Chain A
Amino acid sequence: MESYNNNLSSNIRHYWMQILRRRNLFLLIFFSVLSIFTWSGFFIPAEYEAVTTFIVDNTFFESIFLKGFKVPNTDSKLSMIKEGLFSENLIKKSLQGVSSPDKKLSDDKAVTEIRSKLKININSIGEKGVSLVRISYSHRDSQFAADLVNNLTHEYIEFINNIRANNILNLTEVSQKKLIEYQQKLNELDGMIAKFLKEHPDFVPEKESPLYKNVESLQFARVDIEIKLKELETTREGLLKQLEGSGLTYIDTGLEETPSVRLARLSNQLMILSAKYTENHPDIIKIKMEIEELKKQVGQIRMQPDREANPISLQINEELKKVDNEIKKLKVKLSEISNQENAADARIKNLSNEKQEWLNLQRERLIYQKLYDDLFQKIEMAKVEFMSNPKSILVAEYAKTPLYPARPDRTKLILIGFIIGIILSAGTVIGISYINDRFNDEEDIEKELKIPVLSVIPEIIQDSEIREKKNKRILLVSGAYLLFILLLWFNELIFKYIGLRIIAF
């Protein structure tokens, strides 16, 4: 250990001597590098970075996706937020309220340029906790950078809240109409039941008979499956809609239904009507025609070129497969129940007309009651959710007009210049001492010539004094220049962190 320390100190002394031997060259390289880095910071056009930070409640990610979609992981959330913020519509909207210094640029070019300089960083705190999203944008006009980032944040939050509101409002508005329809139907059926009992005063309903019980349980099972199927179809359409990338664009247009959503709603309506009427009923024919038309429209949308494969698309595809399998299983189950019902119907046909009519009335009322209860529950849940979670995105800090340029960072440049200068100059001097054909010290002579050095005679004092005087002048000038750069660095450092500038450049 001691010999290692001795070697180390001897090596350090050796290198230090080489630097001292060629100190003027060392100073020349060091100050050249330092000057290049220092002064380039004053000539490179400055770019200012504006930063906005907002906090996103992670439950919000569940609410903006349709039911059945798995909560995305951090990467997917980042991709989702990025896709949203990078969307052309959003950037164009954000640009509308800002006076752009690049007036010559067309909208498309401006969007491309903004996209290239926009940086998004997301930090999640727990899977069910919150995510901290940081949006930054750099531009040579500090005011423009700050305004754009703030506008973009504002537009994004509004856009996301619209999605949530649209999802819930779509559900409630459409469902309220449906609920009224069901209520009217139930009232109508109650009237028909009352009328039937009035017309047949001697009729005693056999609620407890095994046949009735069987038919009733089959009806319940069928309604359950039909509702589940309806939900899965809706989920499927939602997933398809997201896969096509229509999610962000369609919902943004307002409260109008998309073809996919309308198709799902009409399919659901058709299913309910089919349970009630024959295929030749005018309402059923009308709905079928509309469904065919919508299917063509959805098909055209799906024929559009595939979007870039991203984590969300892959996840949606996975979910879609699961939903398709579930639908398949339920359809099989439904056909089994239908067979059983047909068998029960055949047995019912043997019953008297009165009993058959009563049974049909009961079955129809049961279906509508079930549909009504289910829909009512959903509407209430959606309202509670919307009321309890009014804001999922909260802006932590809006962008302020930056005073200190992000690029070039003069304090960093001076520091880098200082470090690189020392490394380069020391490296050059030591390198020269290795390749130089002159002897560096007595050890060098002994090593090269294999003869002992009997004495080292120093240069005569008078000679060294003359040279030292010259060197002192060089050192004085170098010291003064270094001090000036040091002051400059402090000046920039104070301005960067405190905002106070002692000397303005």
Chain B
Amino acid sequence: MDRLQKAFDMALKEKRLRSAPLSVTLSCGEVQKASIDLKNVNPYVVTLTRPHSIESEQYRKLKVRLFRTHSTEYKILLVTSPAAGAGKSLIALNLSILLALSDKVLLIDADLNHPSINKYLGIKVDCGLGNYFTNTLDLSKIIIKTDIGNLDIIPSGDKINEAANQFSSEKMRFLIESLKNHYSFIIIDSPPVLASADTIQLASVCEAILFVINDRLTTKSSSRQALSLMNNCNILGAVFNNFPANLMKIKYPYYYGR
């Protein structure tokens, strides 16, 4: 019976991991302010849920390498990957949280088809970037202020047709130029390069690109193909995500107490 109970508990835990409940609901048309409850935050957002973990340490390493070694001239950073499921949104969110501890940061969820940032933070929103493009809301109405440091987010909002055109439009340029002066860093979570044309258009308005590679999903050929599509862009480097923990113990024994 104990074993059955344990299995049941584990299944419940797994379910919670995959789909965290969304308890905070925000409605359109107001200046948005969201209080993030840690209980509702997805455990994968390690910089919030387990700030002293090895995973968080690796995000801190990423932050240092990105903005200390490359100076702060890059304010607008696009996070993308060759294919879906590589962990772009989580990397963008965790990085934004770490940056927001000291600087003013805006995180834009530009994946209009598969929005995920608000889900990871455990908030439900009805409006976002999509609504801005369809002229239903002003820019100030789609920004959500969080209580995580100086982090603001723009969720994806309503789905729109021909998003790629919108991303290369004057409206998008206006959005970036307007916000650039208010924030130290703007992080854009984009769709996969090979799955959508949106990313290529988005790359044209960004200053630098962070390329996410997943250990189990990303292939060499798809990575090469994605990079060739973005050959004129400023790619800062790659983040190797989902690296097996047992191999990390060999590669970084210091963190694992060996």
Contacts and interface: CB of A to CB of B under 8 A. Distances in A.
Are A and B a genuine interacting pair, yes or no? yes
Contacts of A462: 13, 17, 43
A455 B55 contact: no
B245 A464 contact: yes
A199 interface: no
Given A20-B250, A21-B244, A438-B218, A455 B58 contact: yes
Interface residues of A, number: 28
Contacts of A194: none
Nearest to B70: A454
Nearest to B241: A457
Nearest to A464: B245
Contacts of B220: 437-439, 448
B218 A460 contact: no
B14 to A, nearest CB: 7
A21 B237 contact: no
Interface string A462-480: 1010101000000000000
B251 interface: yes
Nearest to B246: A20
A381 interface: no
B248 interface: yes
A490 B109 CA distance: 64
A464 B247 CA distance: 11
A503 interface: no
A40 B215 CA distance: 40
A17 B247 CA distance: 6
Interface hub of A437, A451, A455, A457 (most chain B Cβ within 10 A): A457
Contacts of A451: 211, 227, 235, 237-238
Contact of B62 (A448, A449, A454, A468): A454
Given A452-B237, A455-B65, A457-B58, A438 B219 contact: yes
A453 interface: yes
Interface in A428-462: 437-439, 441-442, 445, 448-449, 451-462
Contact of A449 (B210, B224, B236): B224
Contacts of A448: 220, 223-224
Contact of A456 (B219, B224, B251): B251
Contact of B240 (A16, A445, A461, A464): A445
A442 to B, nearest CB: 5
Given A454-B237, A455-B239, A13 B250 contact: yes
B114 interface: no
Contact of A455 (B14, B17, B62): B62
A448 B220 CA distance: 8
A451 B61 CA distance: 17
B183 interface: no
Q: Report which residue of A451, A454, A466 has the largest number of chain B beta carbons within 10 angstroms of its beta carbon.
A: A454
Contact of B54 (A13, A453, A458): A458
B242 interface: yes
A20 B247 contact: yes
A224 B28 CA distance: 141
Contacts of B243: 456-459
B87 interface: yes
A441 B227 CA distance: 18
Contacts of A439: 213, 215, 218, 220, 223, 240
B43 A456 contact: no
Interface in B197-236: 210-211, 213, 215-216, 218-221, 223-224, 227, 235-236
Interface in B161-217: 210-211, 213, 215-216
B66 interface: yes
B53 interface: yes
Contacts of B213: 439, 445
Nearest to B62: A455
14 contacts: A13-B250, A21-B244, A21-B247, A439-B215, A448-B220, A453-B237, A453-B240, A454-B61, A454-B237, A456-B248, A457-B59, A458-B55, A460-B55, A466-B10
Interface of B: 10, 13-14, 17, 43-44, 46, 53-55, 58-59, 61-62, 65-66, 87, 91, 210-211, 213, 215-216, 218-221, 223-224, 227, 235-248, 250-252
Given A449-B224, A462-B13, A464-B244, 15 more contacts: A17-B247, A20-B244, A438-B216, A439-B213, A445-B240, A449-B211, A452-B237, A454-B62, A454-B237, A455-B58, A456-B239, A457-B58, A458-B242, A458-B245, A468-B245
- Ranked nearest first, the 4 interchain pairs of A and B with the lowest CB-CB distance are A455-B62, A464-B245, A454-B237, A452-B237
